[in-house]
Structure 1
Amino acid sequence: MTSLAPSGHLTIGEHQLEYRMIGPSPAEGPTLVLLHEGLGCVGLWGDFPDRLAAATGADVFVYSRAGYGGSSPVQLPRPVDYMHREALDVLPRVLDAIGFRRGLLIGHSDGASIAAIYAGGVPDHRVRGVSLIAPHFIVEDTSVQSIAEIKTAYETTELRTKLAKWHKDVDNAFYGWNDAWLDPAFRAWDISDHLAYIRVPMQIVQGADDQYGTLKQIEIAEAECYCPVEALVIPGAGHSPHREAAEATLRAVAEFADRILNGHGEAAHGQAA
């Protein structure tokens, strides 16, 4: 594929995956590929993709995984290794389908874990770096507790109605994610072994008040990775710093991307102001 419409669907295997393309084509210049969270989709990124494109000058490609947004539903229950399947089976086909030639993977939550699995499991010289927003490398008690609580909220509050505005099959999206994380077998899920095989710079952006994970996730990356790791902890932000601390997150991710793609800017480390 040499060009993409600004929005549409890709046929990947048996699924139709909705997407947005900001910029002319991944075949023409560097592209930032955005991978959404466990309840995310194209629309739930808000204006972050547009602002990222404006800040970096790079193209931005964002898509909804099967079961989310306007993409095809998936058969439930999802297997507990669903992120490995997304990273090692689906994502390579998506990148090939859009004509991806050079750029970064930028993931949030589940999407960050998928990006890490891909970077550590697929030798792809096209990927020059990974920016991980609130990634999971292991399952923590706080993750399971918060995911159990959101199930109660989904079934007893207006949360289901709110999510239904973004997902054409909201139960498929929610239970596909929630049931997998609450499966007792999922407690053994651990992708830290992939980190040692990542050979490109890594950025981790995490809210200090992340209700789905602790700073142990950063500690694991710093212990396991041989690649450069830049960690930014944003005070006052929770699990979605690109929404809760939008300016600080956008600035950090844009500077990281620009530095890798164009050799510009200074490294950003440590605490956000």
Structure 2
Amino acid sequence: MPDTTTPSIMATDLWAEHPRGRIFARAWTPGSGAPAAPSASPIVLLHDSLGSVELWRDFPAALSAATGRRVIAYDRLGFGRSDPRADTLAPAGFIGDEARSFFPVLRERLGIRRFVAFGHSVGGGMAVHCAADFPDDCEALITESAQAFPEDRTLDAIAVAKEQFTDESQVGRLRKYHGDKARWVLDAWTDSWLHPEFARWTLAPVLPRVTCPVLAIHGIHDEYGTIRHPEMIGQLSGGPARVEIIPDTYHVPHRERPDLILGLVSGFLDQLR
């Protein structure tokens, strides 16, 4: 049954059957009394390396209220409430594989045709692939704190995190969101990014295939990547691109500066209409 997240936004839990397991999703929809854009494409949120639907917290509901659009977030297979994965992530290909192998099934099962792709951190790279692979259906691309290549700052921060998570009490924090999959989630992040094969990964050949409007958001103090990443996204994208560098902000702008991010995103999408 739907539950009311705010007086005007309805949240509904959904499941998509994939050949490799069930994928959990949640949709936030403007209800009575909320400004709505009924003909507008839904916004699909792609989470970060340790993320899940729950870790978006109240941002999806606020985003739905700010834009008048349906917002859909999902747990990638192996994360959150989705089924576990028996395999490990392919270091050089897992980011593009999300768009090729999982996103199309989610769209089919949930009836998503046109969409706005919004990805945070590694989810931003996945959103880039979604926009590139489905250019006729992707209305816009929004990246937040996305990495475009394996920068030294990124890898150094991940190596530090890997060492910190040797403490099982730290892993316990992840179990709240991923249950028994917590260790797999952690290893999927650190082992894939730190693998030698990942050194050749880059969004450079993918970005020119992105023809929709792009908004690239990045915190100036992001501990997982410098502004070279949003600049590369803006410079190489095949469509019109806007880069926003947020002052006094780190890796999670939508949590650190929610009102600012909601204003940027809603203004960007309003211009498209």
Superposition TM-score, scaled by structure 2 size: 0.88
5 Å matches for 1:92-131?
92-120=104-132, 122-131=133-142
1:39 counterpart = 2:39: no
Please tell me the root mean square deviation across aligned C-alpha atoms, in Å. Answer: 2.1
1:54 counterpart = 2:38: no
What is the one-letter code of the residue matched to 1:154? Answer: F
Q: Would you say the 8 A contact 2:117–2:138 is kept in 1?
A: yes
Higher mean C-alpha displacement, 43-52 vs 171-180: 171-180
Q: Which residue of 1 aligns with 2:15?
A: 9
Rounded to whole Å, the distance in 2 between the matches of 1:124 and 1:229 is 15
1:211 counterpart = 2:223: yes
Alignment gaps of 5+ in structure 1: 264-273
Rounded to whole Å, the distance in 2 between the matches of 1:223 and 1:254 is 23
Rounded to whole Å, the distance in 2 between the matches of 1:216 and 1:99 is 36
Q: Would you say the 8 A contact 2:135–2:210 is kept in 1?
A: no
Cα deviation, residue 42, structure 1: 0.3
- Taking a change above 3 Å as real, the CA distance of residues 76 and 28 of structure 1, as seen in their structure-2 partners, is same
Cα deviation, residue 176, structure 1: 1.3
Percent same amino acid at aligned positions? 29
5 Å matches for 1:113-192?
113-120=125-132, 122-156=133-167, 158-168=169-179, 169-192=181-204
1:223 counterpart = 2:229: no
What is the one-letter code of the residue matched to 1:46? Answer: R
Q: Would you say the 8 A contact 2:27–2:70 is kept in 1?
A: yes
Q: Which residue of 1 aligns with 2:29?
A: 23
Alignment gaps of 5+ in structure 2: 1-10, 31-37
CA deviations 1:63-116 (Å, max 9, x no partner) are: 000111011111242111111110122112211221113230111011110010
Q: Would you say the 8 A contact 1:17–1:71 is kept in 2?
A: yes
SS in structure 2 opposite 1:62? strand
SS in structure 2 opposite 1:71? coil
Moved beyond 6 Å, runs of 4+: none
Higher mean C-alpha displacement, 145-154 vs 159-168: 159-168
Cα deviation, residue 29, structure 1: 5.1
Cα deviation, residue 28, structure 1: 7.0
- Taking a change above 3 Å as real, the CA distance of residues 165 and 231 of structure 1, as seen in their structure-2 partners, is same
Rounded to whole Å, the distance in 1 between the matches of 2:268 and 2:233 is 17
Rounded to whole Å, the distance in 2 between the matches of 1:225 and 1:127 is 14
CA deviations 1:27-77 (Å, max 9, x no partner) are: 975211110011100000000000000011100111000111011111242
Rounded to whole Å, the distance in 1 between the matches of 2:244 and 2:40 is 28
Rounded to whole Å, the distance in 1 between the matches of 2:50 and 2:268 is 26
Rounded to whole Å, the distance in 2 between the matches of 1:157 and 1:244 is 27
CA deviations 1:138-194 (Å, max 9, x no partner) are: 110011000011111212274312211111211111111211011111111112111
SS in structure 2 opposite 1:161? helix
Rounded to whole Å, the distance in 1 between the matches of 2:184 and 2:198 is 19
Q: Would you say the 8 A contact 2:41–2:139 is kept in 1?
A: no
Rounded to whole Å, the distance in 1 between the matches of 2:15 and 2:110 is 11
Superposition TM-score, scaled by structure 1 size: 0.88
Count of matched residue pairs = 257
